[in-house]
Amino acid sequence: MFVWGGNNKTMAKLTSSTTHGVLVLSLCLLLLQIFSPALSLETTKLRGSCVASERDALLTFKEGINTLHGSLLSSWEGHDCCRWRGVLCSNKTGHVVKLDLRVDPEEFQWASMSGNISPSLLALEHLNYLDLSFNYFGGQQIPKFMGSFKNLKYLNLSNAGFGGSIPPSLLALERLNYLDLSFNNFGGHQIPKFMGSFKNLKYLYLSNANFGGSVPPQLGNLTKLLHLDLGDNSLQSVDLVAWLPRLSSLKHLDMSYVNLSAAVDWVPALSMLPASLRVLHLSVCSLNATLSALPLYSSNLTALVTLDLENNYFHGPIPDGLLGNMTSLKELWLGLNDLVGMIPKTMKNLHKLKVFDLRWNQISGDIAELMERLSHKIQSLYLMVNNLNGSLPTWIENMTSLSTLDLGYNGLTGSIPSGMGKLTNLSYLDLSSNQLVGMILEDHFTNLTRLEVLYLSNNSLTMEVHPNWIPPFRLKEVDLSYCKLGPHFPAWIQSQTNITFLYMSSAGITDMLPNWFWNVISQVEYLDLSLNLISGAVPKTLEFLSAARIIMLNSNQFQGQVPQLPSRLWFFDLSRNNISGPLLLNLGTVELRYLLLSTNHISGTIPSSMCDQLQSLIILDLSNNLLLGHLPQCWTSSNSFKADPSELRPTGSNVDFISFRNNSLSGKFPLFIRSCQQLSFLDLSYNNFSGNLPVWIGTRLPNLVFLLLKSNMFSGYIPIKLSKLDHLQVLDLAHNNLSGTIAPSVNFKAMTLSFNLHTSPAYIFGELEDYDDSISFSVDTKGQILEYHNDEIFFMLSLDLSGNILTGEIPKEIGALAGLTNLNLSANRLTGNIPDSIGGLQSLESLDLSNNELFGEIPSTLSALTFLSHLNLSYNNLSGRIPSDGQLETFEDPTIYIGNKNLCGPPTSKNCLENQTTMSDLLEYEDGYDMSSFYLSMGLGYAVGFWVIFGTLLFNRTWRTTYFLFIDNMCDRIYVFVVLKWGRFKASIRKK
């Protein structure tokens, strides 16, 4: 044993110190061993690592998810799952406690997740927060295993594409205090009753989730609930008192679109709402009552900030005491009801009111008086579509808090006060469709630096600003239609580079479109420059307006060729311009639904590529151009040009309207139309089409309302199956070479109705109702060619078969067409009588049967046609007295009967009392009577009549004596009468 040298005392100290060190070291090692797991975990946390099993669970979940580029799951790499986007770990334990996979709504289309949600997430036992909103899981059911997250307090599945029914397993989420299932599609299923078992729930969002049936009264058990949103579903509630008043902690209630029409207790239920309520939405609830029936004036809803009663059936005036002591009210929504009169003076007491909505009512009175009854601190005032009159007050400049002023569609008069330019907070101004007059100057916009929306259309306003004026605002939406902006194109538009909505229709602009214009509106979505006289070429760069959805340039003087269109465009109107040249092979857009190019100088043939456009097109109007040649057949095949018919794919299945009117197109009836089974309007008039009319028109085009084939070269018979077109309202086959007879099956169902607006199953012009002159057709009626536009066409029911070679009689069945307003059968070879049944055409305004071979008398039933204003029966073989009673008494023009030499009576000069009719005129030669038989019959009749009287007197003495005594007596009476009258006459002469 090796021992250092030294004394014993030194050795003793050394031994004692060594022993103490060993003990301390041993104790440290023991403590380290005891606390090593915790230290290891803390060290792991400090290094940024998560629990391995939870990391593996998240990676397994990621494998089942389909993501696009930019998804937050792209950051899920490496060992540190606590650093991954959307993952939050506990600072104490390192376990995953929050999984926030919500996608930004603006990034929804390209960053959302889809696929299957893996049950591997069950490894996240400490999870208390789960958000999968704004993703899309393809309509799958909410996974049942979500009910196993025992610690879950927050669950947000809104806008996530879930469907089916809600699994009962969610009932196990006892700690849940926030649940959002809104904006999904649960297929009309009822809200589960077990929703009322979430005792700790404070926030429940179920809006826009396609729930149906009755609201379960079990929701009344949620006594801790602060926020309940049931809006925009197909729900109803009959017994509100059974559940609504029990929600004693409620602060926010949204029951929009919940049908309460059968709830007789809705008034007392509202009176029992808790005093804590701050927001109440009851829009579109089918509440039918006067506002005075509401218990608001006597309720304890003093904390209410928002009250929404919009779009119900409230009627009558707004009572003075409606809002009681609800002085906290900031938003009041009463729009889309039937309220009348002026608002009460007590509205002035609502000092905190910021938003007031009375749109689409019948509020009347002076606008200045109404605004005087509101707090001048109001921010948003919606009064569109009412009956307000008067002028805007000059003191409107004092309402400096105004950010939204919507007064469109009223009866306001006078000028716009220049003080409007002092409303520095104004961002939305709508004064459209009033009767405002005067000038719009720069002063009107002096301080409107926040203005983004400006609607002044449909007034008599003139805008006069300096050509170099630069506005203080940057508009996003502007509508100055029917205001005078011209003659020069407004240069101030050049500074408005944020415009997405620009309407300047009928603005008196006669200038050339400046070159800078198309660059300035690069973000435009809706553009309307129609009904001006703007010239210049439509640029080839039009296709670069990538955001454009609607472009209307019609009724101007644009030149050049139809350009390639923006890829997202769905409405394009370039009609009534000077566009020339052929159509492009590729218009550049696959979403195009409305293509209106009528009344230009477009030439050449219609390219077969138009067939691809027909896949999306709803309206195609190429009328009044210089097009020629045959129409493309629009059948495509993946094989050769001469493919098997079974492999051909039809096109145009969405088309509602086609017009090729007034071109030089030729060939047979277009075969591709056979596949356009939604077609409602077809106009091929004034072309060179020939051949027979196909029988399939009556069976393959069941929605046809207007069939216009006038002035072509169609021949053959009129197909009987046309009568199967139940919705047919206008049939114009005039001026062709059609032959045969008019079939008795002429009674088209739609024409039998006395009022026929919206006969089409799809109201085809519903989306075009704001665009006058976009759609039109002409009818030969009342002796002239009249043009009908948009809504007008639905009041025209016309049958025109004139100018053909039709023979036979007019079928009596035609009298069943009670809704017909125009009937034209002129210039044919029709024979026989005018049927008496024609008096059944109760709505008829114009009747033309001229230039036929009709005979017989004019039926007296024509007199019953009280709407008849035009009649032409000329150049037939009609005879007898012209009926002079009823409606026919109003026709004083004799030319409507000219060419019928055997007609007599007014308005002709021939007197029916004079014996101007020869025996041969009375004979109807069409019946083929033998003249000798006629004279023999007449002679026999005369002989029999003579001998009946003469023979009786000859052989009966008593009758003979009586007869001659009667003759003598009558002669004596006549003689005495004459003598007396003559004597009196001479006596009167002597006195004079």
Q: Which two tokens stand for residue 707?
A: 């069939």
Which pLDDT band, with edges at 50, 70 and 90, does 32 fall under? Answer: very low
Residue 538 has pLDDT above 80, yes or no: yes
DSSP summary character for residue 163 = B
> Residue 682 forms beta bridges with which residues?
658, 707
pLDDT tens-digit readout, 545-579: 999 999 999 999 999 999 999 999 999 999 999 99
Residue 355 has pLDDT above 60, yes or no: yes
pLDDT score recorded for residue 841:
93
The letter for the amino acid at 911 is N
**Mean pLDDT, the chain, integer:** 85
Question: Are the C-beta atoms of residues 602 and 581 closer than 8 Å to each other?
Answer: yes
3-state secondary structure of 813: helix
Question: Are the C-beta atoms of residues 160 and 136 closer than 8 Å to each other?
Answer: yes
d(CA 78, CA 66): 20
- The arithmetic mean of pLDDT across residues 973-990, rounded, is 60
Calculated CA dihedral for residues 12, 15, 16, 20, nearest 10 degrees: 170
pLDDT score recorded for residue 299:
74
pLDDT tens-digit readout, 839-858: 999 999 999 999 999 999 99
DSSP string covering 563-608, please? PPPPTT--EEE--SS--EEPPPS--S-SS--EEE--SSEEEEPPPT
Please, which residues have CB within 8 angstroms of residue 867's CB and are 6 or more apart in sequence?
821, 842, 843, 844, 845
Q: Which of 166-170, 410-414, 983-987 has the lowest mean pLDDT?
A: 983-987
Residue 868 has pLDDT above 70, yes or no: yes
d(CA 536, CA 533): 10
pLDDT tens-digit readout, 50-59: 899 999 999 9
782 closest CA partner among 771, 796, 763, 770: 796
Measuring CA to CA, how many Å separate 678 from each of 268, 608, 631? 51, 21, 19
pLDDT score recorded for residue 328:
92
pLDDT score recorded for residue 918:
37
pLDDT score recorded for residue 791:
63
Which pLDDT band, with edges at 50, 70 and 90, does 72 fall under? Answer: confident
Which pLDDT band, with edges at 50, 70 and 90, does 860 fall under? Answer: very high
d(CA 264, CA 241): 10
Q: Which of 313-322, 487-496, 551-560, 784-793 has the lowest mean pLDDT?
A: 784-793
pLDDT score recorded for residue 508:
96
pLDDT score recorded for residue 37:
40
d(CA 467, CA 492): 7
pTM: 0.79
Residue 477 has pLDDT above 80, yes or no: yes
H/E stretch holding 941: helix 931-955
- The arithmetic mean of pLDDT across residues 211-229, rounded, is 96
Which pLDDT band, with edges at 50, 70 and 90, does 651 fall under? Answer: low
pLDDT tens-digit readout, 110-139: 567 888 999 999 999 999 999 999 999 989
